[in-house]
Amino acid sequence: MSQEVRALQPKEMWNHFADLNEVPRPSKKEERVIQFMVDFGKQCGLETVVDEIGNVIIRKPATKGMEDRVPIVMQSHLDMVHQKNADTKFDFSKEGIKMFVDGDWVKAKGTTLGADNGIGVASIMTILASKDIAHPALEGLFTIDEETGMTGALQLKGGLLNGKILLNLDTEDDDELTIGCAGGVDVIAQGTYKSKAVPDTWKGFKVGVTGLSGGHSGMDIIKGLGNANKLMNRILYQAAEEFKIRVVEIDGGSLRNAIPRESFAQIAISSRKLKAFKKFIKAQHTILKEENRTTDPDLKLSIEEIATPKEAIDGRFQSNLLRTIYGCPNGIHRMSPEIEGLVQTSNNLARVELKNGKYSIQNLTRSSVDSEKYDHARSIAAVFELLGANVVLEGKYPGWEPKPEASIIKVMRGIYKDMFKEEPHVNAVHAGLECGILGTHYPDMEMISFGPNIKGAHSPDERCQISSVQKYWGYLLKTLENIPKKG
């Protein structure tokens, strides 16, 4: 299937992307892709460095006639979100992504595509390997673990890079130039609970909330998409109130930075209440479908009978847990009062796990205002502390303050207008880009982020637009030609 992708234009870039997608590269397990990049750099005959944390830096001198231009850094992250549909059989640790072309889009079969940020990586590889593309002296910076903690960017040392302008290739709309982003912090609540025996006359069921749209918990939070963890909790709460169900297990969501698409719960219920319970589930399915018909048209609420569990969580703890999750904020907390249409602060209830006497609930709180980020995170922590949970705030990373007067922004704005006869959208985004962190190590470096159209990132619906890649590629090449002169 990747052969039809390899035939696309620009051919060299798509081939590098296909090569990259044959390498398993989940966050925190990037050993193979790091070696892949080292081998690539050496094959190109270029200076290749791996720093202490695992970031790869490949240096290439300026092409003839470009020696007087400001040296640049081109940066993308190596890791990708590994997420698949529940009915997709795929081993991310062993298999390459199965890509295919669907009209003007490149997609993957039931999994994430890895265009975030593989298109950026492939773009830099193409420039580094080229013999005829004009560019100033450049460093390709390939960071690790962006998706689950930005560890690579956080631990990159100052003084390692020589470039004065950084081109981050991790934006997902081809008419946008991003010059600022939100910071984030994980709010993780954990604890233990006691179980009690389930009567022999009761029945076991597995409840599923599936088919939601999902998406990036920063870029897509403004869309009001359904959150499977919140919807599952709503069902369990009402069922507990009306039918006295007992919860056995919960497994909802997958990744901290993905809006949850699926949640599953195992429950026990009295045999005498089965008929009414099934009728309740059917009615709730209709209600949820109607409420989410625009944002999540494929939503499904299902039940299937399972073996009667021997134990379920204690009734009092169950009541407190479901109330706590109900009270946990999710979605937009505040819009920016200064930038129209920009989400300023939000929370994503990303992961709910409950099994074998332990529970863990993970949130990702974002804000472009650091003080508000921590205030919202503390308010969420307080909710779970009332449950008796041990709550920690970790994975903190700063936002990126816009500097609209930077020379590279002016240059790229002018190029875009000349090429496409319209103004680009110069904006800040409600997502975590590594520029904010890199700026703490290199405060005098000018930075900008851009890229082609990528939709549904962090979900199995991820797709990359072919015509947009061609537009972006031409824009990138023109930008490299017009990097300002030194001094």
Give Cα 310 to chain centroid, integer Å: 38
The secondary element (H helix, E strand) that includes residue 143 is: strand 138-143
Sign (positive/negative) of CA torsion 152, 155, 160, 161?
A: positive
Helix (H, G, I), strand (E, B) or coil at 485: strand
Told to judge if 4 belongs to the known catalytic residues of this protein, a careful annotator would answer no
User: Which residue in the list 79, 173, 220, 462 is annotated as catalytic?
Assistant: 79
Two tokens, residue 407: 């020379």
79 is known as an active-site residue: yes
> Pairing mode, if any, of strands 446-449 and 215-216?
unpaired
273 DSSP assignment: G
Residue 308 φ/ψ, nearest 5 degrees: -65, 120
Q: Exposure of 64 by Cβ count < 10 A (0-12 exposed, 13-18 middle, 19+ buried)?
A: exposed
Q: What is the 3-state secondary structure (H, E, C) of 169-221?
A: CCCCCCCEEEEEECEEEEEEEEEECCEEECCCCEEEEEEEEECCCCEECCCCH
Sign of CA dihedral 5, 9, 11, 13: negative
Element (H, E) at 302: strand 300-306
Residue 336, H or E segment = none
Per-residue DSSP letter, 82: -
Query: Nearest-CA neighbor of 216 among 250, 188, 182, 189?
Result: 182
In Å, the largest CA–CA distance within the chain is 83
Do 445 and 452 touch, CB atoms closer than 8 A? Answer: no
Of 252, 250, 257, give the one whose Cα is nearest residue 212: 252
Choice among 116, 146, 147, 296 that is catalytic: 146
Q: Which residues are catalytic?
A: 79, 146
